[in-house]
């Protein structure tokens, strides 16, 4: 943070969506407020937060309202953090932009590609800054890996693979009316494993492929499955082919046998680079060298937005950098309904928290790893429950 930024007045901001994942944003805002960088002047929630939920915030408690527009008008906020249901992102972002309010917009930026374009056009026309909340793209490992690739450390890149094996129980899908839905009341939601919980795996893989923009995508192949009794997918694979012909494949699940750290692999013809994006950890393995592991720092995306508004930094994740990811969201949205896995493909066990159960797909951990390792889809790996892939061309 520059001396100029440290000596300026704290940036007044509003948080829309302070519960659930929004609780993490509230904690981060609290941290930045103690540093004198921001001042939380408002919280937009359907039900006001209690004094206990607001504990630790210095100064006067923020105003609260379920109406974002009126809250922005009355508080004079210059920035807003939007962490609300996916299907509300576009309208709330445009509400803020119309008032000249800058944004940190949680991922995915929209539920449809058309809404993403409408949001991106709206903030650009308003002249407001918009940061999309892909935290992994704030990792200093991302430019480090791209420099390794540029320098030829692992030779010519053959493809990018991503793997995510996470555990979610049935309570996860009861946390909100839109959870695990493809649409709600006729409105697209697209809350699937590829588009929300493990969206970072897809977006990070595309970034390392140098294919963040919408025009970088030539085609998208999807294989969508579900073990849980939901509308959306919880166990899926996708292969994006870039306009340069590079395959980017992700194999993900929320029904893992054991929860693991998600990662992205850059496959070169003389080695590979593995990036555990939540840990900012990079492992380089190449011919003629021993393994080299490094751990990198990370720039907080809200802090980067504050610095950007002070004139000291470029935005790390502007909307155009997530266009390729939104091509994937659109391919998932328009694909046939996810296939329910047969009963013999999964089993249940008690949830770790002791409340409810979780569903586990047999052998899925190895299949996720194999998908990232070989750049292949579940059907190509011989999964008995996998149907032929669906191909989407933008």
Here the CATH number for the domain that contains residue 354 is 3.30.360.10
Q: Are residues 172 and 97 in the same domain?
A: no
pLDDT per position as a tens digit, 294-340: 999 999 999 999 999 999 899 999 999 999 999 999 999 999 999 99
For helices 113-126 and 323-334, what crossing angle results, to 10°? 150
Buried b (16+ CB within 10 A) or exposed e, 43-59: bbbeeebeeeebeebee
pTM, rounded to two decimals: 0.95
| 8 pLDDT higher than 90 | no
pLDDT confidence of residue 352: 82
pLDDT confidence of residue 196: 97
| C-alpha angle 304-305-308 in degrees, rounded to nearest 5 | 85
Q: Are residues 131 and 232 in the same domain?
A: no
Q: Are residues 106 and 223 in the same domain?
A: no
Q: For the chain, what is the mean pLDDT?
A: 95
Percentage of the residues of the chain whose pLDDT score is greater than 70: 97
Q: Are residues 111 and 209 in the same domain?
A: no
pLDDT confidence of residue 268: 98
Percentage of the residues of the chain whose pLDDT score is greater than 90: 91
* Domain stop point among 107, 135, 163: 135
Number of domains in the chain: 2
Q: Are residues 114 and 203 in the same domain?
A: no
Question: Is residue 354 one of the residues assigned to a domain?
Answer: yes
Residue 4 banded pLDDT, cuts 50, 70, 90: very low
Residue 56: domain span? 3-135
Q: Are residues 53 and 198 in the same domain?
A: no
Mean of the pLDDT values across residues 41-59?
A: 92
pLDDT confidence of residue 389: 60
153 three-state secondary structure: coil
* Domain stop point among 98, 118, 135: 135
Q: Are residues 243 and 279 in the same domain?
A: yes
Spell out the long-range contacts of 111-114 with Cβ–Cβ below 8 A and sequence spacing 24 or more: 111/86, 111/87, 111/187, 111/188, 111/189, 111/190, 111/329, 111/333, 112/188, 112/190, 112/329, 112/330, 112/333, 113/214, 113/326, 113/327, 113/329, 113/330
pLDDT confidence of residue 271: 98
Which tokens in the block code for residue 46?
């359907």
Q: Are residues 8 and 128 in the same domain?
A: yes
Mean of the pLDDT values across residues 253-259?
A: 97
Question: Is residue 300 one of the residues assigned to a domain?
Answer: no
């Amino acid at each position: 943070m520059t001396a100029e930024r440290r000596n300026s007045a704290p940036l007044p901001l509003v948080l829309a969506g302070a519960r659930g994942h929004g609780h993490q944003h509230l904690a981060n805002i609290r941290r930045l407020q103690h540093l004198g960088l921001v001042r939380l002047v408002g919280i937009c929630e359907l039900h006001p937060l209690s004094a206990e939920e607001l504990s630790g915030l210095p100064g006067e408690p923020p105003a609260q309202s379920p109406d974002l527009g009126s809250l922005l008008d009355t508080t004079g906020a210059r920035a807003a953090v939007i962490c609300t249901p996916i299907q509300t992102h576009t309208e709330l972002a445009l509400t803020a932009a119309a008032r000249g309010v800058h944004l940190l917009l949680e991922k995915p930026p929209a539920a449809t590609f058309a809404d993403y374009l409408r949001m991106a056009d709206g903030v650009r026309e308003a002249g407001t800054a918009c940061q999309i909340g892909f935290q992994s793209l704030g990792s200093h490992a991302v430019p480090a890996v791209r420099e390794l690739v540029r320098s030829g450390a692992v030779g010519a890149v053959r493809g990018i693979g991503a793997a995510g094996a996470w555990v979610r129980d049935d309570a996860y899908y009861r946390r909100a009316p839109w959870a695990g839905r493809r649409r709600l009341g006729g409105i697209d939601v697209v809350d699937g494993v590829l588009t929300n919980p493990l969206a970072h795996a897809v977006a990070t893989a595309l970034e390392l492929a140098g294919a963040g923009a919408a025009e970088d995508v030539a085609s998208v192949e999807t294989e969508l499955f579900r073990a849980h009794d939901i509308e959306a997918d919880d166990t899926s694979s996708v292969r994006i082919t870039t306009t340069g012909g590079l395959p980017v494949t992700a194999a993900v699940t929320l029904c893992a046998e054991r929860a693991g750290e998600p990662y992205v692999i850059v496959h070169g013809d003389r080695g590979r680079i593995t990036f555990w994006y939540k840990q900012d950890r990079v492992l380089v393995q190449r011919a003629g060298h021993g393994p080299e592991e490094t751990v990198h720092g990370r720039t907080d995306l809200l802090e980067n937005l504050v610095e950007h508004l002070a004139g000291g930094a470029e935005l790390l994740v502007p909307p155009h950098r997530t266009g390729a990811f939104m091509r994937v969201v659109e391919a998932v949205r328009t694909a046939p309904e996810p296939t329910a896995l047969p009963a013999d493909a999964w089993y249940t066990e008690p949830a770790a928290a002791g409340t409810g159960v979780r569903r586990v797909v047999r052998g899925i951990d190895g299949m996720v790893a194999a998908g990232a390792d070989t750049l292949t889809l579940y059907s190509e790996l011989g999964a008995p429950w996998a149907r032929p892939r669906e191909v989407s061309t933008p």
